[in-house]
Amino acid sequence: MQSIFTFLSNLYKIIAAFFGSASPGPNPASTEVAKYLQLNNVERHKSGVPELILDSRLCKAAQIQADYMAKMKIITHVGEGGTTPGNRLSSTGFKAQNTAENIGARSDAATFVEVCMNSQYHRINMLARKYTHVGVGITVSDQKYWCIVFANIGESLLGGICSGNLINL
């Protein structure tokens, strides 16, 4: 069992590698990404499931959708130009065997995780052993839009088809 110090140290390294050098003061979005990852991994740990690894390509795919939802002020898996979660993931070069997407609008990571954990299908996505990597996209406009992309590395068995679960929050 990993100590909390080791966990936080590893989390810091992941966030630092993903976001690079810190600018003056913390970036609120990167703080929320770190908080989401921590909370999701706590839930996975409780269920005996390995921690998710934050992946910049998945974050890019998630951010594209979070930006689109904020621009349009809607919660949807269909992106700009009719793109699907699979299209967005493929555009980043990430080859996934299994994928899922949780989306919604909530004020902070703790609330978003709580709502997802209380939703059967979103909970399944968050705790599924088959997902090893995660990307988090957050955009603030009239509210805070979230897009979480779960995946594992490997050639798709379905030709890039991506399963998606809608959180209508």
Q: Which tens digits make up the pLDDT trace of 21-61?
A: 333 444 556 889 999 999 999 999 999 999 999 999 999 99
The predicted structure's pLDDT at residue 153: 87
pLDDT in tens, 81-139: 999 999 999 999 999 889 999 999 988 999 999 999 999 999 999 999 999 999 999 99
The pLDDT of residue 134: 96
Q: Is 98 helix (H, G, I), strand (E, B) or coil?
A: strand
Distance CA 121, CA 82 (A): 23
Is residue 4 scored above 70 in pLDDT?
no
Q: Is the pLDDT of residue 5 over 90?
A: no
Asked if 137 and 62 count as a contact pair (C-beta separation under 8 A), the reply is yes
Q: Closest Cα to residue 156, out of 102, 103, 85, 77?
A: 85
Q: Rounded mean pLDDT of 143-166? A: 68
Task: Report the pLDDT value the prediction gives residue 154, as an integer from 0 to 100.
Answer: 79
pLDDT, averaged across the chain = 83
Ramachandran area for residue 37 (φ above 0: left; ψ -120 to 50: alpha; else beta):
alpha
pTM of the predicted model as reported, rounded to 2 decimal places = 0.77
Q: Give the helix/strand (H/E) hosting 47.
A: none
According to the model, what pLDDT value does residue 53 have? Answer: 95
- From residue 118, give the alpha-carbon distance in Å to each of 28, 63, 124, 125, 126: 25, 24, 10, 12, 11
Secondary structure class of 155 (helix, strand, coil): coil
Q: What percent of the chain has pLDDT over 70?
A: 74
